[in-house]
Amino acid sequence: MSTNTSIAFNYGIDVLTVQKTIAIASGKIKAGFNAKAIEQIRASQQAVQDIVDSERTVYGVNTGFGILANKPISAADTATLQYKILQSHSVGVGDAISTEVARIMLITKAHALAKGFSGVQLTTLQRIVWHIDNDIIPVVPEKGSVGASGDLAPLSHLFLPLIGLGECMYKGKRVPTAEVFAKEGVVPIQLGPKEGLALINGTQFILSFAVKAVQRMHNCLEAADIIGAMTLESLTGTNAPFDSRLHDLRPFAGNKLVAQRLRLLLQHSDIMQSHIDCGRVQDPYSLRCMPQVHGASRNAWLHLKELTEIELNAVTDNPIILSADDTISGGNFHGQPLALPLDYACFAAAELGNIADRRCYLLLEGKWGLPMLLMKDVGLNSGFMIPQYTTAALVTENKTLCFPASADSIPTSLGQEDHVSMGSISGRKLNKVLDNLEYILAIELLSACQAIEFRRPLKSSAILEFAHDYIRRYVGFAEEDRIFADDINKVAGTIKDFSFVNAVNDFASGKNIALNQGYGVFDIG
């Protein structure tokens, strides 16, 4: 790909954010290489070739890898070495990761290599972009990376198609790369010195799961505030704990934002006004402490987002090629900088589910004017009892996923690589917790929509009434038992595809209500 005025993002030059990464992956932004990027890519590749010609020993260029770093490789074999590293390191097992995450891996790797410190050929980078632009995405097994010395196994599978091996998702089917190339009239790339190592040394597997987690967790945080406010209204809770004066005395940014959002979500509510002098002194913690609990999870999310965006613009190859005479062998491939915040975010996401389950339970108790189990005729009907069983099961499953993968390390490469991050597991695990969280929030939303109708003819705020009506497009009020799994899946779909949060935010914006001001502003796509 040459310089192109239609390119909106320049690999290796522009600053990559989570939002831009997702926009490129979804085809909303066209990305490629401008003249400056091409210049730095070619200069770096020439530096590697100069090293080979000079016979100066540099790790990975003319030596073996890992424990074999002291094994010299002849100039004639340097290209063969790169071909073999992709073959030998393709040891991933398990199910394939999603094509979206694999596509993000391609994007983030192209950006890192295009910075010009890795010595790859322009043609190699152009082929990577060809895969992205043509939606021919390599098949990458989910397991096999220990998150240090790079995500070696998954990145090897990601780039096997460059040399005509492996498999790709092609027109919706899993197809051997050789068949894809035959149909597309494409031939394999001839890798040059160091290229195989540059392709597989890096954190792009961990990073891509982090990118998705940042997007998905933000959506869950937004949804949790809206749904929690609906539950509070259904239970005739008070908005007093969200007073700005209270949170100014303990000014954590996440807490203050959640309190502000809850105030806005609940303003001008007839339900709130109807019980202002009811004499109830305090609500249970799962209602009263939403700013503290949701807010703490917001802070964890922001920490993950900030570190993810540093990594998105980092060079995680080894060795780093500064010039033909200046190379550095280091540890930029080590996944620990992301492994720790991914584990932290995992706890934070699990806690969102934990407090949501408690609110589901409150809705079923038959207190404060609501019927037991949210149905008038129970006994013959079980009402909303059993959906809460599901939230309890999912919350417990999430607890089992909260053991921090980064707390463990198993030596590899005969002790040369004696401390590894396990960040690849942290990233996958966080996204599993988010899978469960989306269902937990869906069940609370389904229950809150049922409960709020027992407050009629009183109305909640305009925003929460819109949120209720939006869900009623998918599921109706339950007069009696039915297959609630169908309802749960329909509501969960609106959370998983971001449509619920986006619709509520758009409605609020139309009312000139800014639910996000100055902290954590993020377009979930």
pLDDT digits (tens, 9 = 90+) for 160-186: 999 999 999 999 999 999 999 999 999
Closest CA to 82 of 56, 102, 101, 64: 64
pLDDT at 520: 63
Number of domains in the chain: 2
pLDDT at 9: 98
Q: Which of 185, 202, 219 is the last residue of a domain?
A: 202
Supply the CATH number for residue 235's domain.
1.20.200.10
Q: Which domain holds residue 86?
A: 9-202
Q: Are residues 143 and 244 in the same domain?
A: no
Closest CA to 228 of 275, 289, 276: 289
- The residues near 283 (Cβ < 8 Å, ≥ 6 apart) are 232, 235, 237, 238, 241
Q: Are residues 193 and 236 in the same domain?
A: no
3-state class (DSSP) for residue 265:
helix
Is 415 within the bounds of a domain?
no
3-state class (DSSP) for residue 280:
coil
Is 417 within the bounds of a domain?
no
The DSSP bridge partners found for residue 137 are 169
- DSSP symbol at 306: H
| 59 vs 416: CA distance, rounded Å | 14
Q: Which of 202, 217, 243 is the last residue of a domain?
A: 202
Q: Are residues 243 and 184 in the same domain?
A: no
pLDDT at 277: 80
DSSP letters, 89-120, are T---EEEEPPHHHHHHHHHHHHHHHTTSSS--
| 100 vs 105: CA distance, rounded Å | 9
Q: Are residues 213 and 131 in the same domain?
A: no
Please, which pLDDT band fits residue 3 given cuts at 50, 70 and 90? very low
Q: Are residues 361 and 497 in the same domain?
A: yes
Question: For residue 5, is pLDDT > 60?
Answer: no
Q: At which residue do the structure tokens 């449509």 appear?
A: 499
Is 2 within the bounds of a domain?
no
Across residues 252-279, what is the average pLDDT?
Answer: 94
**Cα 26 from chain centroid (whole Å):** 14
Please, which pLDDT band fits residue 79 given cuts at 50, 70 and 90? confident
Is 183 within the bounds of a domain?
yes
Instruction: Say if residues 440 and 448 touch (Cβ distance below 8 Å).
Output: no
Longest alpha-carbon distance in the chain:
86
Q: Which of 158, 187, 202 is the last residue of a domain?
A: 202
User: In Å, how far are 122, 198, 310 from 40, measured between CA atoms?
Assistant: 10, 15, 21
Q: Are residues 386 and 453 in the same domain?
A: yes
Q: Element (H or E) spanning 355, and its range?
A: helix 336-364
Is 325 within the bounds of a domain?
no
468-498 core/surface letters (b: 16 or more CB in 10 A; e: else): bebbeebbeebeebeebeebbeebbebbbeb
The DSSP bridge partners found for residue 96 are 141
Q: Which residues are catalytic?
A: 59
User: In Å, how far are 131, 308, 522 from 425, measured between CA atoms?
Assistant: 26, 16, 26
Q: Are residues 97 and 135 in the same domain?
A: yes
DSSP letters, 375-391, are -SSBTTB-TTHHHHHHH
- DSSP symbol at 401: T
Is 432 within the bounds of a domain?
yes
Q: Are residues 299 and 244 in the same domain?
A: yes
Q: What is the pLDDT of residues 433-481, one digit of tens each?
A: 999 999 999 999 999 999 999 999 999 999 999 999 999 999 999 999 9
Is 142 within the bounds of a domain?
yes
DSSP letters, 36-83, are HHHHHHHHHHHHHHHHHHHT---TTTSB-SGGGTTSB--GGGHHHHHH
For the CA atoms of 430, 433, 435, 440, the dihedral, rounded to the nearest 10 degrees, stands at -150
Q: Are residues 297 and 363 in the same domain?
A: yes
Q: Are residues 106 and 244 in the same domain?
A: no
Query: What percent of the chain stands above pLDDT 70?
Result: 97
Q: Are residues 132 and 268 in the same domain?
A: no
Q: What is the pLDDT of residues 484-514, one digit of tens each?
A: 999 999 999 999 999 999 999 999 999 999 9
Is 525 within the bounds of a domain?
no
Supply the CATH number for residue 36's domain.
1.10.275.10
Q: pTM value?
A: 0.96
Q: Are residues 45 and 64 in the same domain?
A: yes
394 C-beta neighbours (distance < 10 Å), count = 22
Question: For residue 2, is pLDDT > 60?
Answer: no
| Nearest-10 crossing angle of helices 253-266, 290-312 | 120
